[in-house]
Amino acid sequence: MQLDHPQTSRTDQIARAVLIGMLCAASAFICLRGATGAVADPDVGWHLRTGEWILQHHAIPHADPFSRVSAGSPWQAYSWLFDLLLLKVYAWMNLRGLLVFTAAMMVLIAAAVYHLLSRLQADFTQRAVLTVAVMFCLSRMSTPRPWLFTILFFAIEMDILMHARREGGSRELLWLPPLFALWANVHIQFVDGLLVLGIAAIEPLLLRWWKSQTKCPPARKLWLTLGACAAAVCLNPYGPGIYKIAWQMGSQAGVLDTVSEMMALPFRAPADFVLLFLALAAAGVLFRFRQLPPFETLMLVLAAVLSFRSRRDLWVMAITAGAILAAGLPARAEQEDRGKQPLWALALSGLTAAAAFAASLLLLHVNNATLQAMLAEKMPVQAVEVVKNRHYSGALFNTYDWGGFLIWNLREPVSIDGRAALYGDRAIERSRDTWGGGAKWAADPDLQSAGVVIAPDDAALTQLLRTDARFELAYEDKVAAVFVVRREAKNGESNVAELHRAGSDAGSVKQLP
């Protein structure tokens, strides 16, 4: 990591090492302070349950075991390694483990981002400011999801590619195949990394007619690296079929309008505007040169398409813009630091980050009791206990956002959950319309077949079910309401079923000779 000028005093080296550690730990502090987002993430439950299923069966699922409406349908747990890791963390520290894991990943991401920027920008102040800006944009992503690994691996990949292009070498490219082999087992968005590598591979070809003074490794080595990475991706339980899974998820356009994390940035938070500023600043740095570097230019276009199309992918623009600014902004001559960080300074930065991390845990009083209370404010914790204690039975009907929580905590098949690719656009849209009290809510087959409904207290459907003769309100608090099918309705359904069977039997008798 480029940090200090050979002539920089030992005092300055110590101060900078401590500052770097504090800078990386700051992202953990922000994550710990916003603990609710991590412990109440709607997808955590099904990730934990998948990890548990894998341990119980000593196999990777190929069919859905958690949904009542799509049970047995093809489903691939492409984040299986992440699921196992998250389960181990949860078993070790419960809810606190989820939060500590998320905060620790944010520290690693901050360190990777700083390392990337430090090899592109010689000015310590500029790269520190850029790191803060990038991590501020990424604060929205601080939830225990596999995308944390994607962000980390993307930063590492960009670091390797930008350094290889800057120095014209190719030795560090050897790290990419094992990186992609691991990436493909923790998150499906390894495809974004392959796309970036593909852009780097075609750059030498573009330079034949694209006037630029850019250095880059030989095209042959880049294409060999791309081929090796594409093959390494197949080292997963689903083999080359992982590409089909990625295609199916990428072609599911309907979720962009129905799933909140897939929608475009709302520009309601300061971090959104910082991201926009970084994008505009990166474009300004590129266009102030007459000869635009092909890789940086194409990466900025790709980042704009991905990040401004879906808020889940804002990390592409944050890291890409940060790298472009770090490489393009001139360093002040008196502030140039071209020496490598001494090992003792690196160790000091790590110790500082660890100490600041531990201090944040103590200062913010992060414990399982507090986190459980936070969880109960967002998820139907008490409603689940009521269903368990009163032994309510029957098919479950629930919202999209609560499905993962119920899979883990209620241990009953759900009607829908956050696995969007499994259910498809039509099912997600129907669920949204039903819970919104749409005109056809009563005709929803999943609701018609339900015996127990766990509903958000403020949902439109909740108000409609209060007047529905088929259901009765069994429990309600400030978060959720529980509806169960009335006994008369159950008896009526049984009588109807018996009449159907009797009619069927009578028809059969008439046909006998």
Q: Among 2-6, 335-339, 355-359, where is mean pLDDT lowest?
A: 2-6
Tell whether the model's pLDDT for residue 344 goes beyond 80: yes
* Integer Cα distance of 27 and 108 in angstroms: 10
Average pLDDT over residues 84-109: 95
Tell whether the model's pLDDT for residue 21 goes beyond 50: yes
Report which of residues 134 and 343 the model is more confident about.
Answer: 134
Tell whether the model's pLDDT for residue 125 goes beyond 80: yes
Model pLDDT, residue 291 = 64
Q: How confident is the prediction for the chain on average, in pLDDT?
A: 88
CB-based contacts of 119, cutoff 8 Å, min separation 6: 1, 2, 159, 162, 163, 166
Residues 159-218 pLDDT 10s: 999 998 887 777 899 999 999 999 999 999 999 999 999 999 999 888 888 776 777 788
Tell me the pTM.
0.90
Q: Are the CB atoms for 413 and 66 separated by under 8 Å?
A: yes
Tell whether the model's pLDDT for residue 513 goes beyond 60: no
Residue found under tokens 């000091």: 348
3-state secondary structure labels for all residues of 433-501: HHHCCCCCHHHCHHHHCCCEEEEECCCHHHHHHCCCCCEEEEEECCCEEEEEECHHHHHHHHHHHHHHH
Average pLDDT over residues 54-64: 94
Tell whether the model's pLDDT for residue 154 goes beyond 60: yes
* Integer Cα distance of 76 and 89 in angstroms: 22
Average pLDDT over residues 15-31: 91
Q: Are the CB atoms for 86 and 101 separated by under 8 Å?
A: yes
Q: Is 74 helix (H, G, I), strand (E, B) or coil?
A: strand
Residues 276-308 pLDDT 10s: 999 999 999 988 865 678 899 999 999 999 999
Q: Among 28-37, 128-137, 289-298, 321-330, where is mean pLDDT lowest?
A: 289-298
Model pLDDT, residue 502 = 39
Domain coordinates in residue numbering, the chain: 10-40+78-363, 379-495
Model pLDDT, residue 75 = 92
Q: Are the CB atoms for 198 and 226 separated by under 8 Å?
A: yes
Q: For 419, what's the count of Cα atoms within 13 Å in the CB-facing half-sphere?
A: 30
| Distance, CA of 160 to chain centre | 23
Residues 226-281 pLDDT 10s: 999 999 999 999 999 999 988 887 777 666 666 777 788 888 889 999 999 999 99
Average pLDDT over residues 487-504: 48
Q: Are the CB atoms for 489 and 449 separated by under 8 Å?
A: no
Residues 311-332 pLDDT 10s: 889 999 999 999 999 998 887 6
* Integer Cα distance of 505 and 291 in angstroms: 83
Q: Alpha carbon of 433 to those of 122, 258, 296, 310, 428: distances in Å?
A: 54, 10, 42, 22, 9
Report which of residues 490 and 53 the model is more confident about.
Answer: 53
Tell whether the model's pLDDT for residue 387 goes beyond 80: yes
Model pLDDT, residue 292 = 78
